[in-house]
Amino acid sequence: MKQVFFLLLVLCSFKAIQAQKPDDVLRVYFTDAEFFITEEEYLDALYDYQELFNNGFNENANINYRIGICYLNIPGQKDKSIPYLLKAIENTKTNNRESEFKEEKAPLDAYLYLGNAYRINNNLEKAIELYEKYKELLPSSDDAIMEYINKQIQACNAAIKFMENPVDIKKTNLGNTVNTSSSDYKAVISGDGNTLIFMKELPFYDAIFFSRLENRQWTEPVNITPQIQSDGDQYVSSVSYDGTHLFLTKEDNFNSDIYISTYENGQWAKSTPLHKPINTKYWESHASISKDGRTLFFTSNRRGGHGATDIFKSVMDEEDEWSDPINLGSTINTTLNEDTPFITEDGSSLFFSSQGHNSMGGYDIFVSRLDGEGDWGIPENLGYPINTTDDDLFYYPWNNGQVAYVALFEKDSYGKEDIYTLKLASVAIAEEAIAEKIETAVDKGDSLRKVIIKEKIEEVPLDDKAAEVEEKIAEVLKEEIIEKEEEKVPEPVIMEFELRPVYFKFDDYGLSEKGKIELDNVASLLANYKNLKAELNGHTDSKGPDEYNQKLSSKRALSALNYLVNKGINTDRLQAIGLGETKFAAINKNKDGSDNAEGRKLNRRVEFEITGIEKNNIIIKKIEIPEHLRIK
């Protein structure tokens, strides 16, 4: 019996010795953890640091500090960093050697990261307290560090104000066909809403998935990573309006480039890099394409910027080559990072993430609107809870920004990050109001179009419920259940359209981006009303010889005509006429004979005369000239 007891005692002692790992084994854990944290592989680093923590290093301030850093960089687990960082600030020093195995004290940066942890977890007053403490402890006033700390304090104060006035939004999970127990993120969608592409976290790599909307349900997503021939190092950036061109980012520790894949014959082709001047030796990390596929917005840290990464724009020329990129300027770009720009279908709004504007902390989502002069306006913070005190990136606007696709950690998520749609509550309420009105239309026997026009809300998108009611209306009409409805003479519906002239630079007949947008409106009108025809009248200002101006006006009219033809409008329905100096819209000179550049600008134009409108109950509204520029 004593021998058995002795044997058990020996075995227990052996297991205890095994449980307490020797220094050389612990040193390997530390070395591995340091490698992983340098490579930003925070989950792997966390595992090794926790091995140290559980084997006698639980009081070591430096190990607690490193564990806190790991948790701060793991989405969904950032709150776990606080107790470790609190332990770290109990024992700090200025000249910390944090990368050495024997170091027991944490660096002063522990105060900074604890402030960040409190900020991310919305303990804003405590965060400000830690930032102020960090400023006091710094041995010297490093301007860059001080600027960063003050930026964090400013962000906390901004967050307090934003959170006092939250934006009312509606979040909708895309469902368990798309979302799974792993992270699903970086979702982009085609203009018609039928093509969805997104990233999904798999056990050994992040994959690219593709789904189609059929019968208002997403099909089972397909892993297209093999089709694109990615090694798991390419990430979704954006998709073209027609859903056939997928822009991707491929990055490693040294470089990041923009790639593109094309959808043909039911397959995605191998992705290929964009050439210069888009991709360079610098860091190009995101791209978004305009609706017409001719303008690319992307981020880069190339020379000529305002900070780390800036947003640039490049336009495709007539030979389908990208022009030299133009920095969007200091209104958009700051001394800090801007990233993930997305341009809306109408080209008038740019959504992007920024660290440098009035942020709640880290990156926030902003929107800038294009003004009448073609300049980007002051970026607006989208507010809380769209923005949070953590980094907010990759906000994909759809339907001109009325809906957005984002990845969120929510209580109703299926796992980690899920893909959601966001709508302002006002938009969601308007959609519900439309659905109710359409349901009423079933009883009254009115057509869907008539009800919407009567209520003057035809621009508000219909939700799934409204689409179902539309089908019900069609079924009722088909079965002829509505009594005597065919005998009623419907009231004529008058549709109003506003066609703005296309304006040109002096002595030029090239189309501007704004001019193309106006021509898109004309193309849309002609496409919807097949019996309409358009007369395109080119004009000039008063400068230059009459004969030269006559030719210039004809070239302007032909530029507009060619653009409409490229949009699918038959030449039989178009006529280009050059009128030279014969019909000024505004004054060219002031009463004292001096030049009036503002008036001349309004004379360099192409105007539209639409014929056949009387058969369609259409009214074409023309733009009025300001009083002070009218010809009297």
**CATH number of the domain where residue 108 is located:** 1.25.40.10
Q: Is residue 468 part of a domain?
A: yes
| Three-state SS at 297 | strand
Q: Is residue 128 part of a domain?
A: yes
Give exposure, 544-582, as e/b (b: 16+ Cβ within 10 Å): eeeeebbebbbbbbbbbbebbeebebeeebbebbbbbbe
Indicate the residue type of 66.
R
| 501 and 597 co-located in one domain | yes
Q: Is residue 52 part of a domain?
A: yes
* Last-in-domain residue among 164, 194, 210: 164
pLDDT given for residue 439 in this prediction: 55
pLDDT given for residue 495 in this prediction: 65
Q: Helices marked H in 91-233 — which ranges?
A: 109-120, 124-137, 143-164, 225-228
pTM score above 0.85: no
Given a contact cutoff of 8 angstroms between Cβ atoms, the answer to whether 414 and 175 are in contact is no
As separate numbers, helices (DSSP H) first and strands (DSSP E) second, the chain gives 15, 30
Half-sphere exposure of 590 (CA within 13 A, CB side): 6
Spatial neighbors of 306 by CB under 8 A, at least 6 apart, are: 327, 330, 333, 334, 335
pLDDT given for residue 95 in this prediction: 82
Q: The domain containing residue 354 runs over which residues?
A: 169-416
| 482 and 599 co-located in one domain | no
Beta bridge pairs of residue 89: none
Q: How is residue 399 written in tokens? A: 């339907």
| 468 and 582 co-located in one domain | no
pLDDT given for residue 307 in this prediction: 79
Q: How is residue 424 written in tokens? A: 């302002």
| 173 and 160 co-located in one domain | no
Q: Is residue 196 part of a domain?
A: yes
pLDDT given for residue 498 in this prediction: 76
| 202 and 86 co-located in one domain | no
* Last-in-domain residue among 114, 135, 164: 164
| 140 and 185 co-located in one domain | no
pLDDT given for residue 464 in this prediction: 43
Q: Is residue 9 part of a domain?
A: no
Q: Is 197 left (phi over 0), alpha (psi -120 to 50) or beta?
A: beta
C-alpha torsion angle, residues 369, 372, 373, 378 (rounded to 10): -30
Cα–Cα distance for residue pair 172/160, rounded to 1 Å? 26
Low-confidence stretches of the chain (pLDDT beneath 70) = 1-21, 141, 425-496, 615-618
| 516 and 404 co-located in one domain | no
| 336 and 266 co-located in one domain | yes
Given a contact cutoff of 8 angstroms between Cβ atoms, the answer to whether 476 and 482 are in contact is yes
pLDDT given for residue 186 in this prediction: 97
Which among 392, 398, 401 has a CA at the least distance from the CA of 369? Answer: 401
Q: Is residue 366 part of a domain?
A: yes
Q: What is the DSSP letter of 615?
A: G
| 462 and 538 co-located in one domain | no
Domain count, the chain: 4
| 197 and 326 co-located in one domain | yes
Cα–Cα distance for residue pair 88/71, rounded to 1 Å? 14
* Last-in-domain residue among 119, 134, 164: 164
Q: Is residue 2 part of a domain?
A: no
Given a contact cutoff of 8 angstroms between Cβ atoms, the answer to whether 324 and 314 are in contact is yes
Cα–Cα distance for residue pair 585/622, rounded to 1 Å? 12
| Three-state SS at 261 | strand
**What CATH code is carried by the domain that includes residue 209?**
2.115.10.20
Cα–Cα distance for residue pair 73/611, rounded to 1 Å? 62
SS (H, E, C) 299-355: EECCCCCCCCCEEEEEEECCCCCECCCEECCCCCCCCCCEEEEEECCCCCEEEEEEC
Q: Is residue 309 part of a domain?
A: yes
**What CATH code is carried by the domain that includes residue 565?**
3.30.1330.60
| 143 and 178 co-located in one domain | no
| 521 and 579 co-located in one domain | yes
